[in-house]
Chain A
Amino acid sequence: MGVELTTTRLEDAAKWAKQSTLDRATNWGRKFSLFTYPFVTACCGMEFMSVAGPKYDIARFGAEFPRFSPRQSDLLMIVGTITEKQGPALRRVFDQMAEPKWVIAFGVCASTGGFYQNYHAMPGADQVIPVDVYIPGCPPRPEQVLDALIMMMDRIQAGRGHSQLREKREQLLAQAAQTAQTNE
């Protein structure tokens, strides 16, 4: 399936050309084996089950295997409302995930707080952790979720996920420090 995607999409090929072969291969492997950690807090969970079930079948995109340990997963799906009280728990789950890791905010509550404009609801999970892709909808249609997953995969392939960019940034900083040292 991956081969078809690479050969049929020209813009993909253009993005890939900028990467080294190793990066290209690594990211290709990453994007087709996303292990999901479903952080399910609210009614969007029903829609998540629908996507994960056989009818819409997220397994077609290689993300079918929910791991209920953050240490074994690399895609955090925040499914539902995040309250202020849950903030530390969410941060902790995210911190426990191994790098590189990606985050999808599933539904409008996880993206912006939704209609909970009050004292207890966090205005979007991105107040606590960096989010890569936001899915609107209350709850989102399964097609939207799959679309978001494909966007996420594109982003992983291009190396533009938050954790990938951070890694790259840290590498560049280390390189700069090293060159500065050698120049002295």
Chain B
Amino acid sequence: MSSKVLDALKAVHGGAIDSLETQHGDAIAWIKRDHLLAVATWLKNDPAMAFDAPVFVTCIDRLDWKPQDVPPGPQVYPATAGWSDDGTKARFEVVYQLRSTTHRYRLRLKCAVPEHDARVPSLAMLWPAFNWQERETYDMYGIQFEGHPDLRRIYLYEEFVGYPLRKDYPKEQRQPLVRRDDLPINPIKSPAAGHGGHR
């Protein structure tokens, strides 16, 4: 944990941090959701940090993770972050990867987001390059980015129901817009026949 960025982050925004770690030389900071915007603003505007290059934003669905899956011993993975005190998990991790070209820093911000309240402050106003990436994350995982200028689906069509990269979305459940009339099973005409296992 001997990262300059993490040390500075801890000194300035100690209260906002869930936990800190490094993985394969990359600094990772778990940030409390309510403080994410303040931390990100500071990271961008402070001349000692100057994170001017947004790399990506994505989300991880930890549907299949259970508390007992966390290995014992020294923490390779943050056992505390993402899990609330009563042992229930926050299902999603929203991940922001940032880079400072002036200081050559790399930093990954992670934010634990529970399923019933899947929202996170948008950073698209700070880094406009995150605009479309946040839309993609919304499209695939259904994370609501609060304060996003134009939050709507970017890849899928408006008629699509659900969020396909969530792990509980049936892998082959297609939602066809158009089908031939003479198909043996037409999923549009008979939705009960199921587009799930169909072919």
Contact = CB atoms under 8 A, between A and B. Distances in A.
A127 B172 contact: no
Interface residues of B, number: 18
Contact of B164 (A87, A119, A122, A123): A119
A108 to B, nearest CB: 14
A140 interface: no
Interface string B84-118: 00000000000000000000000000000000000
A18 interface: no
A91 B178 contact: yes
B177 A88 contact: yes
Given A119-B169, A119-B173, A88 B156 contact: no
A135 B173 CA distance: 26
A129 B180 CA distance: 6
Contacts of A113: 199
Contacts of A112: 199
Query: Interface size for chain A: under 10, 10 to 19, 20 to 34, or 35 or more residues?
Result: 10 to 19
Give 8 closest A-B pairs by Cβ, nearest first. Answer: A123-B199, A119-B164, A87-B178, A88-B178, A87-B177, A85-B157, A91-B178, A88-B177
22 contacts: A84-B176, A85-B156, A85-B177, A87-B176, A87-B177, A112-B199, A117-B172, A118-B164, A118-B171, A118-B172, A119-B164, A119-B169, A119-B171, A119-B173, A119-B174, A122-B176, A127-B176, A127-B179, A128-B178, A128-B180, A129-B180, A130-B180
Interface of B: 155-157, 164, 169, 171-180, 183, 198-199
